[in-house]
Amino acid sequence: MLPVSQCAFNKKKSDMIFKNNSISDVRGKLVSQLSFVEIPGIDKLLENANDLRMKEGPTLNKEIIAFANLRTHKHSKLFSICLEKMTINFTIHNKTHNNSALVCFDNENSLELKKLTLQYAKYIGNITNFPVINNNRIQGLLSRYHMRLHNVIKQLEAFKYLKSLQVNGMLPFFIVMLQHQNNKLYAPSNEELTELRKTLAEKENLIIELYGDKEKLSEIYASFRKKYSELVERKTNNQKDLIESEEKCLSISKALVELQIENNELKRQQHEMQAQLETKLSNIKNNAVETASREKLIQEENIEIKNKYEGLLQEKKDLSMEYVVLRQNYINLTTEFDKLKEKTEEKTLELTNANKVLEETRSINEKLLVKEEELTKIQQHLELKIKELRQLPPSVSEADPHKRETDTLNKEDKQVGNTAQQQQLERDVEVLKEQLQITTRQITSLESQVNESRQRHNELDKENVKLREQLRQKTEEYKLKLFEYLHRATDPSESTSENSIVKNKLYQEILQTHSLREDELMQDAELERRRNNRISQQLSKIQQRYQALLQFTQGIVPDHKIPSLVMDAKTMQENIDTIAETLVKGGVKHREVSNDSRNMWQRVEELNKQLEREKVNQLMAIERTRDYQEKLQKEILSLKKVLHEEHSNCGAASQQLKAEYQSNIKRLLELEHVLETQIEQNKIFIARGEQKIHGRVEKIGSEIQLLEESSNKSGKKCNEESKIDNTDKIELIDRLKQLESEVKELREKNSSLKQQLQKLLKSGWTPEELEKLEKELEETKDKARKMEFCQDNIVLLLTFIIFFYIPKDSSAEVNTSYWERLKQLETDKAQLVSRANEAEEELKTIHQHYQTKIAKYVKQISKLKNEMNELKQKYIVVEK
């Protein structure tokens, strides 16, 4: 019975789980597992964190571990590591019951070795070792010999113990004890003892032989272990080589797969490009047809737009006239409104004055009432005294004359006071009557003003109705124009990005104008509401005062007739409110009309500008489409020449790319050769043209000399009438010299252009150099034009010379020889003119041919360079 401990590690819980199993039969299979454990808290347990420790699982027995330790000690002769004092050694041995071993790696602080050890640990961590022990193998034999040795050692120890008892005289007692324990009596004889001694000697010999066999087996096992370790090392090396070879195979397979993918993508792109190019060709053809049809439509539309533009100009003039009329009406209405404001202010002042007068009359009335009360009290007091006096007897009255005198005096005083009071009251009544008359006059004037305001209100209503109708008509016309414009902008036959942009701009501008108009109307409405509130407050105050005046006048003069306006004060206030509101509405509407008219004019101007822009944009679009069609045709031709079928294999693709690269280089060289030949041909053409021009100039000079000689021969008579100014001769000579110098300059320019082209072909094009070439070509064009102008001037001078070399006699008789000379001169003139025209045409054709050839070669060179760059990039990618 042998206890065996198996170790496992749970990474999730980070703890060790141990299980004890018992094996009943040694001959059965014994399984051991090699496991690499990540110990928790290894940074704290390790003394040196750079070293890596790995744990070996349970092994067969302690001898294998001892052999491994010996092997490690043999290998580590240079330095030794003391692992006994480390805490990790104690913890692992305690956990695994001394059935584990530590493997240390010293990397000497090198990153490459650390990476290799970590990779080695990862690969070995996935390995499980299942050694099987059988009787037929060496390990099975070793286990058997171990069992036998243990049994023999136990027997020898027992025999040794018995022998020691025999020496000490304790053997009979021990035998008796054994017999007593077994309830038997046994007494060994001498023969048995001798047999036992013989057996012991034999067993000792066997033990010695077994020790010798054990040493031999240990030597055999050591040699086997060495061979096994060598095989393991070879296996690890082979595994490393296999892993490296597999990695290389994987990398190669990945590269092959990527290349196949790229090849498939290139094929797909080629098919797509072909399909796209076919679609582009069809689209270009359709676009060409559409552009032709659109050009016709555009011409028709241009005619229609011109007609519309003329109609819009006429409408603009009519609208400007109407706007002037509306402006004048608006100014008149504003002036009338200001006058009404001034009148209302004057009326408010009059009402304030009337209020002051009312307050004064009220104070006077109060004083009069107080005086009346005092007078009533005095009258009552006097009446009481009169009654008392009447009740007195006559004797007393007669007896008191003095009292009578006093009474009479009192009566006279009272009469005087009453008369004075009556006079004051009459005066006050007259003043009040005058004030009432003034108020009645004011009321009548207010009635007349109200009637006038009603009439004006009616007139304003009529004008507003007219203005509304005009506005409605104008808005409908404007809407129709907008709808036509939008329909034309959103027409599917002319669907372009520019039309959509114009449409969006129109929509945004309309929204902005409407929002601004709404804000202005809201502000005007708020201002008018405030004004109406103020006016209503003022009218309420005036109404209150007016009612107080009415009550006062009715109290003073109840029989006085009140005018109709006083009875209808509320209606008057309502009429005033309605008049004010209508005036406000009329002003607002007038403002709206004026603003709308301004907006209409602005919109008409903007529409005119937009129409002009659209015309320009359409013409530009047509030109762009033509240029784009030409470019596409050229690209299609170049792509048809360049595109070829590609092979699936990478080697074939690289060879094909190399071949294409070489063919393109050859094409470039051929094109350079063609360009040089063409430049030489152009030079030859230019030289021939210059020679022809020079020859013709010499012929012209010779003819001029002949004409001069003939003129000298014609005599003095002809010279007197037909002299040629020396200035003209000098001018002709100077112009001929200028022509020669310009011809030389053109030759130099052509040579410089040839040199520049050769340099550019060798080095490559740049935008600055292209601009320089374009400028130089333009300069050559200008010089050619100047040459043509000089030729025209020479022809004119020749005609002038021919005209003025005609001799004239006083008798107007012409000589026959002179007429013959004149006919010859005319024929020469016609020949010279024809030759000059031919020279001009040849110059033009040479310049055009030269420019077209240069442009073609520049385009071809740029395309070939782009293709070369693309092929270089592809070739670099394939090599990678």
Q: How many angstroms separate the CA atoms of 122 and 25, rounded?
A: 35
Q: Which residue has the higher pLDDT, 426 or 217?
A: 217
For residue 825, with 0-12 CB atoms within 10 Å meaning exposed, 13-18 middle and 19 or more buried, which class applies?
A: buried
Phi-psi region at 431: left, alpha or beta (left = phi > 0; alpha = psi -120 to 50): alpha
Residue with tokens 């990474």: 11
Q: Residue 635: which pLDDT band, with cuts at 50, 70 and 90?
A: low
Q: Residue 184: which pLDDT band, with cuts at 50, 70 and 90?
A: very low
Task: Tell whether the model's pLDDT for residue 484 goes beyond 80.
Answer: no
- Distances in Å between the Cα of 323 and the Cα atoms of 58, 476, 480, 557, 597 are 112, 17, 21, 58, 7
Phi and psi angles of residue 806, each rounded to the nearest 5 degrees, phi first: -75, 120
Q: Residue 254: which pLDDT band, with cuts at 50, 70 and 90?
A: confident
Tens-digit pLDDT profile for residues 259-301 = 888 888 888 888 888 788 888 778 777 777 887 787 788 888 7
Task: Tell whether the model's pLDDT for residue 21 goes beyond 50.
Answer: no
- What was the pLDDT predicted at 698? 63
- What was the pLDDT predicted at 207? 76
Q: Which residues contact 657 (CB under 8 A, 6 or more apart)?
A: 871, 874, 875, 878
- What was the pLDDT predicted at 693? 57
- What was the pLDDT predicted at 813? 41
- What was the pLDDT predicted at 560? 45
Nearest to 561 by CA among 444, 429, 445, 451: 444
- What was the pLDDT predicted at 873? 72
Phi and psi angles of residue 563, each rounded to the nearest 5 degrees, phi first: -65, 165
Minimum mean pLDDT range among 192-206, 332-346, 601-615: 601-615
- Distances in Å between the Cα of 529 and the Cα atoms of 517, 526, 624 are 18, 5, 59
Range of 140-149, 264-273, 477-486, 702-711 with top mean pLDDT: 264-273
DSSP labels, 517-572: HHHHHHHHHHHHHHHHHHHHHHHHHHHHHHHHHHHHHHHH-TTPPPPHHHHTHHHH
Q: Which residue has the higher pLDDT, 736 or 369?
A: 369
- What was the pLDDT predicted at 220? 83
Percent of the chain whose pLDDT exceeds 90:
0
Q: Which residues contact 436 (CB under 8 A, 6 or more apart)?
A: 553, 557, 560
Tens-digit pLDDT profile for residues 158-168 = 777 666 665 55
Nearest to 495 by CA among 287, 204, 238, 779: 287
Residue with tokens 């008409």: 604
Mean pLDDT for the chain?
63
pTM to 2 decimal places? 0.21
Task: Tell whether the model's pLDDT for residue 851 goes beyond 80.
Answer: no
Q: Which residues contact 848 (CB under 8 A, 6 or more apart)?
A: none
Using only the alpha carbons of the chain, give its radius of gyration: 68
Domain boundaries, given as residue ranges, for the chain? 43-134, 191-371, 435-490+498-554
Q: Which residue has the higher pLDDT, 534 or 483?
A: 534
Nearest to 258 by CA among 542, 650, 591, 753: 650
Tens-digit pLDDT profile for residues 709-749 = 655 555 444 444 444 444 555 665 566 566 666 666 666 66
Q: How many angstroms separate the CA atoms of 705 and 712, rounded?
A: 10
Minimum mean pLDDT range among 257-266, 341-350, 438-447, 483-492: 483-492
Q: How many angstroms separate the CA atoms of 593 and 474, rounded?
A: 10
Question: Averaged over 459-478, what is the pLDDT?
Answer: 70
Question: Averaged over 156-181, what is the pLDDT?
Answer: 57
Q: Which residue has the higher pLDDT, 211 or 876?
A: 211
Tens-digit pLDDT profile for residues 776-824 = 656 665 665 555 555 555 555 555 454 444 444 433 444 455 456 556 6
Q: Under DSSP, is residue 15 helix (H, G, I), strand (E, B) or coil? A: strand
Q: Which residue has the higher pLDDT, 243 or 177?
A: 243
Q: Under DSSP, is residue 94 helix (H, G, I), strand (E, B) or coil? A: helix
DSSP state of 98: S
Task: Tell whether the model's pLDDT for residue 68 goes beyond 60.
Answer: no
Q: Residue 185: which pLDDT band, with cuts at 50, 70 and 90?
A: very low
- Please state, as a whole number, how many other Cβ atoms lie within 10 Å of the Cβ of residue 36: 17
Q: Tell me if 788 sits within 8 A of 691, measured CB to CB.
A: no
Q: Which residue has the higher pLDDT, 455 or 581?
A: 455
Nearest to 436 by CA among 483, 196, 869, 444: 444
DSSP labels, 745-807: HHHHHHHHHHHHHHHHHHH---HHHHHHHHHHHHHHHHHHHHHHHHHHHHHHHHHHHHHHT--
- What was the pLDDT predicted at 857? 65
Q: Under DSSP, is residue 8 helix (H, G, I), strand (E, B) or coil? A: strand
